Chain A
Amino acid sequence: MNIRSRLSTAIASQYFPFFVTVSLFIILYIAGIMNYRGFTHAQVFYNLFIDNAPLIIVTVGVTFTLLIGGIDLSVGSVVALVCMSLAYLLKNTSIPVFAAVPLVLLIGIAVGFIQGYLITMFDMQPFIITLAGMFFCRGLTAVISRNTIIIDNPAYAALASERIRIFDTGFISVGAIVAIIVLILATIFLKYTKTGRTIFAIGGSESSASLMGLPVFKTKILVYIISGFCSALAGIVYSWIMLSGYTLHGLGMEMDAIASSVIGGTLLTGGVGFMPGTLFGVLIQGIILTFITFQGTLSAWWTKIVVGALLCVFIIMQALITEHKNKLSSSSSIKSDK
């Protein structure tokens, strides 16, 4: 009886999906170590961060929009647009690197602001508005150049290939460090600032949030600006991996980000999510890819199949949790609570 009631409390806890995700990651990692000798190298773990740094940053941004019950489909295209603009600026103009980077970050902020303003001001479906934003940014990328532009600025390339050693166990890239910093800042922001809490309140019930006197309008726009900014930042990190601008960069990244966020415990209906969970959502995708690489014979597309299956499992889990909570709030009366 006691175990059952404790389990019931655990399932209802807001961190339950996070623990499930982390456990899954650990199990996968142990399975990897048992099957492949290569998994024991710390560098395999670091590579998860190096390879997925852009996706981590994009997922952080997308999670913000999911938390208010919205969505942002434009992120992958913004990544492409930012890579392309950066490559174009460095190749064809004399603008130095330290000026070009803030400039392209502004692109992300502007896209986010316009989308957020339209969605909030005219109470429009975020799905449609950001879908339009996705097509628009992808198209704009092709307008700048339909061919690949290589980034060969020496200073920029040096920054991209910079490796930071972690004791003697291996190394990570600058991009991975940026991703981790973004993740930590986002976690603190969501938990310890008024705006962060307002985001959760809006996701829980927008009408209640405004009746409680919270600045709903401003916060909603801010969320889309954050998402736009994160995609632009991810675009820069992406360009450090690719060292080029190309129309098809970041294709389908928005879907990977949404999948990672959901696997990490974010509810698509809004109001529930934990930033470190989204990190593990990304890492789980990365580890599956590592498995396939080590295995050697399977196609990389198997990642998609596994992620698809995982997504189903997590969505069903979320539905069950929600149902469990409904039972708690409807069945128990005050008496049983004492």
Chain B
Amino acid sequence: MGDTILKMRHIDKIFPGVKALSNVDFNLQSGEVHSIMGENGAEKSTLIKVLTGVYPRNNGTVTLYDKEIFPKTPKEAQTLGISTVYQEVNLCPNLSVAENIFIGREPRKFGFIDWRQINKRSQELLHTFNIDIDVTKTLDNFPVAIQQMIAIARAVEIDAKILILDEPTSSLDEEETKRLFTIIRELKKRNMGIIFISHFLEQIYELCDRITILRNGELVGEYITTELPKVELVAKMVGKDLDSVKEFDKAAAKSIPSDQLFLEANNINCIGKLNQMDLTIHKGEVIGLAGLLGSGRTETAEILFGINQINKGELKIHSDKVQLSNPMKAMQKKIAFCPEDRKLQGIIGDLSVRDNIILALQAKEGMFRHIPYQKQVMLADDCINLLKIKVSDREQLIKNLSGGNQQKVIIARWLITEPELLILDEPTRGIDVGTKSEIQKMAVTLAKTKGMSVVFISSEMDEMIRTCTKLIILRDHKKVAEIENEEISSENIMKAIAGGEN
């Protein structure tokens, strides 16, 4: 490792109403691979976007080689020597490999582009990465892994000092990942500073020299990878002191599941999303899916709701084999799903609260069986009272409600379809504390009083511990553990997530 080339100090980033980053420091040395880690809402992508000029910073300094910089666009950042390679490759598929590396800075002869030199130099450059391909072929001839390496080659060619790799391995297989790592190590030797973002813990430990951890937009600390055990890393990411979590996590008044089985999944598999999982859900059970971001929690939920199809294994509901080939099928089997991204996948902003509430019921009934206005009003008012949704009246546009109340409306939408299984994917994200506990309580009450089964997905461990009677722990799209009843504690969860290592 060499000198510190990039220093970010006291970075604040304020979005209307929210302080996304507060007083964050970050250092990058030449010739190191440095990972930024954090759970959902840790704002690591915001930090990257401040660095690459997507967002301007509100406060703090960014110095590159002891000179303060103010990149306003990714292009300016690139000129300064900060290049980013995204998971979605930002190159032109219709141009040749060589041209993608050189476009914008083509060598010229007598004012005309010197194609021979471009092809020759690209060939040589890629050869140093151990990639020997026909560089005159267009980019869309090659797999994503190669495209990514070509994007890295471009960054090297434009003489980048800092290379940001944002989730580069999420669409690569093992072999491809290995080759990418060889290239990254080669760049390290050339004294480039590399920021590596990934949610695969194994890869972080294999590749990175240092780790900076963020939580809720604040800096937790900067650590040397070899000195930070995985359990501790997970503990720091989710915001728990390892000693304090050993204290008793009191499970208060949880729902007791009945013996009756609602859903049974045997060895279900979905390519690239979920790896061979068994799952049983009883009536009246609140079951939690835990794991880090990208571990396969949402993917599991989407399979249960028929958004993704399984290619192996079988699903049984009430002991009957079913095929959930689309969400409508799942709805007819009395399954309901409140998705993770409320704004994008949940609310229809320009419709009223009443319209949003009856949406799922109307879809289930069918387009031609209009729900009478009187009944709509009744249903909406019932829900508003029952869930204590704060609205001026039921015709208020949903986009004008607070996040917590929007979430309640989405839940209400599903409750009136009288589901037997309610899937809540991150129902409490971005919601104030009061509403959070209300939603948690509601999940437990529904299971208790109505015998509903609830699948609860959350990044916040406390929440899961308080509400769930069974936890499925996922890592890298696999089920790694199942924790029940008294076993459920922060310590056990974190151990399971980190891979059983102490």
User: Of A326, A328, A334, which is in contact with the most chain B CB atoms at under 10 Å from its CB?
Assistant: A334
Question: Do residues A204 and B113 form an inter-chain contact, with CB atoms below 8 A?
Answer: no
- What is the minimal beta-carbon distance from B334 to any residue of chain A, in angstroms? 37
Stretch of A74-82, A211-219, A303-311 with 4 or more beta carbons under 8 angstroms from chain B: A211-219
Question: Do residues B140 and A329 form an inter-chain contact, with CB atoms below 8 A?
Answer: yes
Give bound CA distance, A123 to B106, whole Å: 29
Interface residues of B in 104-159 (CB under 8 A from A): 104, 106, 111-113, 115, 133, 137-138, 140-147, 154
Question: Do residues A334 and B176 form an inter-chain contact, with CB atoms below 8 A?
Answer: yes
Question: Do residues B91 and A208 form an inter-chain contact, with CB atoms below 8 A?
Answer: yes
- Give 9 closest A-B pairs by Cβ, nearest first: A204-B92, A271-B94, A204-B94, A192-B112, A208-B90, A213-B75, A325-B140, A201-B92, A192-B113
- What is the minimal beta-carbon distance from B422 to any residue of chain A, in angstroms? 36
Q: Told that A214-B103, A332-B143 touch, could you supply 12 new A-B pairs with CB distance under 8 A? A: A200-B95, A201-B95, A204-B95, A212-B154, A271-B92, A271-B93, A271-B94, A272-B94, A325-B141, A328-B140, A334-B146, A334-B176
**A333 and B104 in contact (CB under 8 A), knowing A193-B112, A197-B113?**
no
The reply on B420 being an interface residue by CB < 8 A is no
The reply on B43 being an interface residue by CB < 8 A is no
Give bound CA distance, A212 to B139, whole Å: 15
Interface residues of A in 183-208 (CB under 8 A from B): 188, 191-194, 197-198, 200-201, 203-205, 207-208
**A200 / chain B contacts, CB cutoff of 8 Å:** 92, 94-95
Interface residues of B in 49-76 (CB under 8 A from A): 74-75
Give bound CA distance, A335 to B176, whole Å: 8
Residue-wise, chain A 310-338 has the 8 Å CB interface mask toward B (1 for contact) of 00000000000000011011111111010
**B91 / chain A contacts, CB cutoff of 8 Å:** 205, 208, 212
**B247 / chain A contacts, CB cutoff of 8 Å:** none
**B112 / chain A contacts, CB cutoff of 8 Å:** 188, 192-193
**A213 and B78 in contact (CB under 8 A), knowing A328-B141, A329-B143, A334-B176?**
yes
Question: Do residues A210 and B146 form an inter-chain contact, with CB atoms below 8 A?
Answer: no
**B133 / chain A contacts, CB cutoff of 8 Å:** 337
The reply on B501 being an interface residue by CB < 8 A is no
- What is the minimal beta-carbon distance from A185 to any residue of chain B, in angstroms? 13
Interchain Cβ contacts under 8 Å between A and B, 8 examples: A200-B92, A200-B94, A201-B95, A272-B94, A329-B142, A333-B143, A333-B175, A337-B142
The reply on B355 being an interface residue by CB < 8 A is no
Give bound CA distance, A198 to B99, whole Å: 11
* A188, closest chain B residue (CB): B112
Among candidates A201, A271, A332, residue contacting B103 with C-beta atoms closer than 8 Å: A201
**A334 / chain B contacts, CB cutoff of 8 Å:** 143, 145-146, 175-176, 179
* B179, closest chain A residue (CB): A334
Give bound CA distance, A335 to B175, whole Å: 8
The reply on B258 being an interface residue by CB < 8 A is no
User: Of B79, B99, B103, B106, which is in contact with the most chain A CB atoms at under 10 Å from its CB?
Assistant: B103
Give bound CA distance, A12 to B96, whole Å: 12
The reply on B320 being an interface residue by CB < 8 A is no
Residue-wise, chain B 292-307 has the 8 Å CB interface mask toward A (1 for contact) of 0000000000000000
Give bound CA distance, A55 to B140, whole Å: 33
Interface residues of B in 245-264 (CB under 8 A from A): none
**A325 / chain B contacts, CB cutoff of 8 Å:** 138, 140-141
Give bound CA distance, A197 to B141, whole Å: 19
User: Of A9, A201, A203, A214, which is in contact with the most chain B CB atoms at under 10 Å from its CB?
Assistant: A201
Give bound CA distance, A271 to B175, whole Å: 32
**B115 / chain A contacts, CB cutoff of 8 Å:** 192
- What is the minimal beta-carbon distance from A88 to any residue of chain B, in angstroms? 40
The reply on B173 being an interface residue by CB < 8 A is yes
The reply on A209 being an interface residue by CB < 8 A is yes
* B137, closest chain A residue (CB): A12
**A207 / chain B contacts, CB cutoff of 8 Å:** 90
**A333 and B74 in contact (CB under 8 A), knowing A12-B138, A12-B141, A212-B103?**
no
The reply on A125 being an interface residue by CB < 8 A is no
